[in-house]
Amino acid sequence: MFKLAQQQGMASYVPYFPMQRESEPREGFVERPDFERLRQEVPEHLHPALTFCYETRCRTGAMSKIIWPWVNLDAREVNLPPGIVKNRKPLILPLSVELVAMLRKKCQADGRVFNTKNFRREWIKACVKLKFGVKTGPEWYEYEGLIPHDFRRSAVRNLINAGVGQATAMKITGHRTLSVFERYHIVSMEQLHDATERVTSNAKTTQNAVASLRRRRKAPFFSRVCRGSSVVEQPIRNRF
């Protein structure tokens, strides 16, 4: 605003506005076995909603707005119209076979797809029981630990670890910029150790290959020459 006023001669100078420091991204994520344990601890009516958020990285707010006309179970897709997700762009989300089977059991012509009754309360109860979080006060909502938004990082991580290309993964997650996408791609300590092991293994393989090549270069090389009725071997010099 001040820049525009300065350009139009309405302000002689632009005051300094310090930028707020960008917050560090959360690093919470859930591996599939832990997700299965969490899903088993919440009531059955929440299983489809929980599975959908985990597999598609959809926010709980957008998930709760989805209605049946947007769902195509035969194509295994959910078509979100503009304005439902944060970037306000239409988005097509693929559905897993497991989730489609869950939705077929409750398929309707209209209305909300996912039953989210007591979603947050049941989430907290399950997370505390599984030690994914802790209570911070006497009220049911006073809690600190794993949150549904951590499923978004889990979905991005699962896509990359499964070998899905970055462009395809960004199309599924709806991220429009690489910088934001990378904030959701959390690398675990196990992956760092695995990377170190791969580098070490590759270095050893390369070192062994070089050593083998050097030994072959030092070894004499013989050619077979016919002399009359006999064949003799003689060394070839200046091979390299």
For residues 133-158, give the mean pLDDT: 87
Q: Is residue 211 part of a domain?
A: no
Q: Is residue 122 part of a domain?
A: yes
What is the model's pLDDT at position 20? 57
- Identify the CATH number of the domain in which residue 79 sits: 1.10.443.10
What is the model's pLDDT at position 226? 55
Q: Is residue 13 part of a domain?
A: no
Q: Is residue 215 part of a domain?
A: no
Say how far apart CA 61 and CA 85 lie, in whole Å.
9
Domain carrying residue 114: 32-187
For residues 175-192, give the mean pLDDT: 51
**Which tokens go with 168?**
């395809």
Q: Is residue 90 part of a domain?
A: yes
Phi, psi (rounded to 5 degrees) for 20 = -70, 140
Say how far apart CA 160 and CA 224 lie, in whole Å.
56
Say how far apart CA 124 and CA 33 lie, in whole Å.
18
Say how far apart CA 11 and CA 127 lie, in whole Å.
55
- Determine contact, residues 91/80, Cβ cutoff 8 Å: yes
Containing H/E element for 227? strand 221-227
> How many angstroms separate the most distant Cα atoms in the chain?
106
Q: Is residue 227 part of a domain?
A: no
204: amino acid identity, one letter: K
Q: Is residue 205 part of a domain?
A: no
Mean of the per-residue pLDDT values for the chain? 76
Say how far apart CA 4 and CA 53 lie, in whole Å.
42
**For residue 24, is pLDDT > 60?**
no
Q: Is residue 217 part of a domain?
A: no
**Which tokens go with 136?**
């911070």
Work out the angle between the directed axes of helices 32-41 and 47-56 (0-180°, nearest 10): 160
**Which tokens go with 149?**
């938004």
- Count CB neighbours of 97 within 10 A: 7
If one counts the domains in the chain, the total is 1
Each residue's pLDDT tens digit, 192-219: 445 556 555 665 677 677 667 777 766 6
Give Cα 168 to chain centroid, integer Å: 11
pTM of structure? 0.61
